[in-house]
A and B are shown apart, each in its own frame.
Chain A
Amino acid sequence: MTILDDFRPYVPGLVLLGGGALLSVVVADAVPGVQPLVVAVAIGALVGNAVGTPASAEPGVDVDKLFLETGIVLLGAAVAVEEFLAAGPTVLGLVIAFVAGGILFAEVVARTLFRIGTPTSSLLAAGAGICGVSAVVAIGRVLDARGAAITFAAATILLFDAVTLVVFPLAGEWLGLSSRQFGVWAGVSMFSTGPVAAAGFAHSTEAGQWATVTKLARNALLGGVAVAYSLAYAARSAADPGVRRLWAEFPKFLLGFLLVAAVANSGLLSPAALASIGRISDALFTLAFVGLGLSIRIDDMRAVGAAPVGAVLVHLLVVSTVALAAVRALL
Chain B
Amino acid sequence: MTDEDVDDASEGRAVDHADDVGGTRLARRWRALDRGWQALCLGLAIVFVHLVIYPV
Instruction: Evaluate contact between B51 and A260: CB separation under 8 angstroms.
Output: no
Instruction: List CB contacts (< 8 Å) of B10-40 with chain A.
Output: 10, 12, 14-18, 22-24, 26-27, 34-40
- The complex places the Cα of A316 from the Cα of B10 at a distance, in Å, of 23
**A280 at the B interface (CB under 8 A):** yes
Tell me the nearest residue of chain A to B43, going by C-beta: A73
Measuring CB to CB, which residues of chain B are less than 8 angstroms from any residue of chain A?
1-3, 6-7, 9-10, 12, 14-18, 22-24, 26-27, 34-44, 46-47, 50-51, 53-56
Give chain A nearest CB distance to B30 CB in angstroms.
8
A residues adjacent to B (C-beta < 8 A): 1-3, 5-6, 9-10, 58-59, 62-63, 65-66, 69-70, 72-74, 76-77, 133-134, 136-138, 140-141, 147-148, 150-151, 154-155, 158, 251-257, 259-260, 263, 267-270, 272-273, 276-277, 280, 295, 300
The answer to whether B26 and A137 have CB atoms under 8 Å apart is: no
A273 touches B51 (CB 8 A): yes
- Tell me which of B3, B17, B51 has the highest count of chain A C-beta atoms within 10 A of its own C-beta: B17
Question: Would A66 and B54 be within 8 Å (CB), given that A74-B43, A134-B10, A256-B43 are in contact?
Answer: no
Which of these, B9, B18, B23, B54, contacts A133 with CB under 8 Å? B9
Q: Chain B contacts of A2 at CB under 8 A? A: 24
Contacts A66-B14, A133-B9 aside, 4 further interface pairs with beta carbons under 8 A come to A70-B38, A252-B40, A253-B43, A256-B39
Given the complex of chains A and B, what is the CA–CA distance between A137 and B35 in angstroms?
15
B18 smallest CB distance to A (angstroms): 5
Closest 9 CB pairs of A and B: A73-B43, A252-B36, A137-B10, A69-B39, A256-B40, A273-B54, A6-B27, A253-B39, A273-B50
Pair B3/A151 contact, Cβ less than 8 Å: yes
A284 to B15, CA, bound (A): 17
